[in-house]
Structure 1
Amino acid sequence: MAFREWKTFASAGLGAILLSGLVGSAFAEDALKLTELSPSGSDACFGRVYDAAHLKAHPKQKVARIFFYYGHDPVSRPNEEPSANSDTSYNGFLTTTVRGAKAPEWASGWCNHESEDDKSGPIRCGMDCDRTLASLKLDDKGRLILSDLSSDIYLDPDSEEQLGKAEYVRQALGSEDDNFRLDPMPVATCKAEFARIDPIDPALGPPLRERFKPDQAFCYGRDYDAAHMSSHPDQLTQSIRVFRGSVELASYASGGDVANWPDGADIAVSVTTRRKGAKVTQTYSCQGEADQWRCAASSKMSDFSCDIAQKEIFLKRGANGTIMLANPNSSIAIVDLCSKAADGKTKSDDKVYRLQAMPQSACAP
């Protein structure tokens, strides 16, 4: 149950994901005016894969594959965020694979004409912190000329100071990685290329927001046997349940917004530890965030009385019908959430749980 195995939203390209979501709506109206990139108003794809002869002739070019996608987000998979919040704006998405790399890197930005009337002149795709993703123009054959690509496009602005010059040069793009001429390609080609960034595991199945309906009760849990507990002396949890029962269903029915499911969904977590032997139950209020439910402790059906809103757990899909529960801090009800012991990082081995579906009776209060 090592926590390092759990990828939170923040570790999975937070900056790029937030950028495509937050700036997209603000610049959607302008971006839709770029008819030269997308004359029909549909998504557009441009790309190039360099052969061995080209790369041999350009030793300072690291990029072996490059694709630019203009349109709706090709990176985000079906996820846990409410469908009502899905981004429908047009943005620019760039992905490159350098020589020898197994997977691409990517960045996104909003694209607009650099002119007073916003209808003519060069196209600049901007990023946060007033950075440039790229400048764009089409040649007379409809190919995309992509320029002004910074060597540190995938690095933090102060990364050279943090990494040191040698490591910065190793991670940055090469001195010839600019002024790319990209051919028009089918949209499916770009989507397939972006899918290489973080391939979907088919064993995970559909998102939890699709697996669990707003009016559906569920029960997941695990009981650890003596052999497991003996081999994990730092684990306190002897039995754990995660569920939505009649109380949680009634709470959502009275004030939940089905269009924004799973935002506002209550779940309950019950834990029995080897030390206390008594069951402790805590309710959490969840919201969809990327590929997980982020759930903050609430005062509903709580065994604790302090301000516990900042205590969080995370739920994700597990393989073959399981669900994963992560406890990055002392936020699961194995200790008094109001105590000083709950303020720091979890020191025991109670951090990530793989839970199996159980009969609803197994989660009865």
Structure 2
Amino acid sequence: MAFKGLDWRAVFTAGLSAALLGALFGPACADDALKLTELSPNGADACFGHVYDAAHLKAHPKQKVARIFFYYGHDPVSRTNEEPAHSDTSYNGFVTTTVRGAEAPQWAGGWCNHQSEDGKSGAIHCGMDCDRTLASLKVDDKGRLILSDLQPDIYLDADSEEELGTAEYTRQALGSEDDNFRLDPMPAATCKAEFARIDPIDPALGSPLRERLKPDQAFCYGHDYDAAHLASHPNQLTQSIRVFRGPVELASFASGGDAANWPDGADIAVSVTTREKSGKVTQTYSCQGEANQWRCAASSKMSNFSCDIAQKEIFLKRGANGTMMLANPNSSLAVVDLCSKAADGKTKSDDKVYRLEAMPQSACAP
């Protein structure tokens, strides 16, 4: 459940490494929210939290969490995002923690319900996607929230230990004493301010891509790298890059897309010229809005390649002052033949993150 030197994960998730951002939908319905009266007797959003002082952390060296807050209610995280306007995350429980030495918190969201058959009594369990546990909750006689069953890998993918290796998993996971927290009731505004620390709004970013780029609108973004840049980045293959929607992509969405769900189902094309090739390589991707970015999977439509490339992905995000950011974490940009062995591993060159400027449509012509 996570988006994980320029670290593309840091650029594109800014602390949202908890829930991957793709897993924002749960089985709970919006109408079921705010009905746990133990947490919220009056049905209002409820906040609980604790900030540990230096003395406590010194006495508990295996506790990584220095700040922890639990919010029960409406989504305190999503602000301007790329998901379709009518999307309902369905989450009603949100936890955010800041570990020692970290500048920003991480967060995860889920849905909380009583574990009894009637759903009205018993322990409160908060689940996450993929049948994972967010936390177990109960309120003591002083109104404090006891939060337990917080999993060490709450901000990591389900199979992250095998993928990362024991040492790196241990470094990224929570500590062995990061559980059984007693959180004090606080004003809802306190939790909202804490969650706002995750990804502070940058006014230079402007409106999301889904608002700037309309379903029936062609666009062209790109960058041409000069000799000086390439000389200072010897590991960068990309000489020229374009990201665009033209007549073909517009026609594809017009015939089968749903404007109400924009940008889900939007086709984009990416063309790359490398310093090693004289011709362009073009790849089509099909996108969906996911948190603060477009997640785009390589498509067989209008592709130069014939293998199964559905797992090859890129990510688009609004950049400052009208630019567009493109992240290519796993060799999924058409710098190389996506069917070749060279495309199997992580991108090891400088061809990971691009800042693209708006260009006239003629700059993206075939």
Q: TM-score, normalised by structure 1?
A: 0.78
Residues 9 and 289 in structure 1, CA contact (< 8 A), matched pair in contact too:
no
Question: In terms of mean alpha carbon deviation, does 329-338 or 145-154 score higher?
Answer: 145-154
What's 2:137 paired with?
135
1:94 aligns with 2:95: yes
Tell me the secondary structure at the aligned position of residue 146 of structure 2. Answer: strand
Identify if the C-alpha distance between structure 1 residues 30 and 297 changes in structure 2 by more than 3 Å, giving closer, same or farther: closer
Which of 82, 93, 111 aligns to 1:80? It is: 82
Q: Which has the larger radius of gyration?
A: 1
What's 2:260 paired with?
259
Residues 215 and 253 in structure 1, CA contact (< 8 A), matched pair in contact too:
yes
Question: In terms of mean alpha carbon deviation, does 257-266 or 221-230 score higher?
Answer: 221-230
Residues 51 and 68 in structure 2, CA contact (< 8 A), matched pair in contact too:
yes
What's 1:292 paired with?
293
In 2, Cα distance between equivalents of 1:299 and 1:316: 23
Identify if the C-alpha distance between structure 1 residues 167 and 314 changes in structure 2 by more than 3 Å, giving closer, same or farther: closer
Amino acid at match of 1:35: T
Residues 8 and 329 in structure 2, CA contact (< 8 A), matched pair in contact too:
no
Tell me the secondary structure at the aligned position of residue 301 of structure 1. Answer: coil
Q: Pairwise mapping of residues 5-154 of structure 1 onto structure 2 (< 5 A)?
A: 5-7=8-10, 13=16, 16-17=19-20, 21-23=24-26, 25-26=27-28, 31-49=33-51, 59-60=59-60, 65-87=67-89, 89=90, 91-97=92-98, 102-126=103-127, 131=133, 133-137=135-139, 139=141, 143-148=143-148, 152=152, 154=154
Amino acid at match of 2:69: F
Tell me the secondary structure at the aligned position of residue 183 of structure 1. Answer: strand
* Cα distance, 1:100 vs structure 2: 6.0
What's 2:334 paired with?
333
In 2, Cα distance between equivalents of 1:317 and 1:116: 45
Q: Quick check: which one's helix share is greater?
A: 1
What's 2:7 paired with?
4
Identify if the C-alpha distance between structure 1 residues 104 and 10 changes in structure 2 by more than 3 Å, giving closer, same or farther: closer
Amino acid at match of 1:37: L
In 2, Cα distance between equivalents of 1:152 and 1:347: 29
In 1, Cα distance between equivalents of 2:207 and 2:227: 34
In 1, Cα distance between equivalents of 2:355 and 2:146: 45
* Cα distance, 1:243 vs structure 2: 1.0
In 1, Cα distance between equivalents of 2:66 and 2:345: 45
Which string of whole-angstrom CA distances, capped at 9 and with x for unpartnered residues, describes residues 17-63 of structure 1? 5697343x3376655432343344332223455678xx579944966
Q: TM-score, normalised by structure 2?
A: 0.78
Tell me the secondary structure at the aligned position of residue 171 of structure 1. Answer: coil
What's 1:171 paired with?
175
Tell me the secondary structure at the aligned position of residue 21 of structure 1. Answer: coil
1:183 aligns with 2:185: yes
Question: After TM superposition, which residue ranges in structure 1, 4 or more long, deviate above 6 angstroms?
Answer: 8-11, 155-159, 166-170
Residues 215 and 253 in structure 2, CA contact (< 8 A), matched pair in contact too:
yes
In 1, Cα distance between equivalents of 2:244 and 2:195: 35
Identify if the C-alpha distance between structure 1 residues 250 and 93 changes in structure 2 by more than 3 Å, giving closer, same or farther: same
Which string of whole-angstrom CA distances, capped at 9 and with x for unpartnered residues, describes residues 301-330 of structure 1? 333444433333221222222112222333
Tell me the secondary structure at the aligned position of residue 251 of structure 1. Answer: helix
What's 1:360 paired with?
361
Q: How many residue pairs align between the two structures?
A: 353
Tell me the secondary structure at the aligned position of residue 28 of structure 2. Answer: helix
Gaps of 5+ in 1: none
In 2, Cα distance between equivalents of 1:233 and 1:96: 39
Amino acid at match of 1:144: R
* Cα distance, 1:247 vs structure 2: 1.8
Gaps of 5+ in 2: none
In 1, Cα distance between equivalents of 2:357 and 2:206: 15
Which string of whole-angstrom CA distances, capped at 9 and with x for unpartnered residues, describes residues 59-113 of structure 1? 44966644321112223343222233331x3522233446665433444443333
What's 2:315 paired with?
314
In 2, Cα distance between equivalents of 1:153 and 1:50: 21
Amino acid at match of 1:182: D
In 2, Cα distance between equivalents of 1:112 and 1:77: 25
Tell me the secondary structure at the aligned position of residue 278 of structure 2. Answer: coil
* Cα distance, 1:350 vs structure 2: 2.5
In 1, Cα distance between equivalents of 2:299 and 2:152: 42
Residues 105 and 197 in structure 1, CA contact (< 8 A), matched pair in contact too:
yes
**Percent identity of paired positions between Structure 1 and Structure 2:** 67
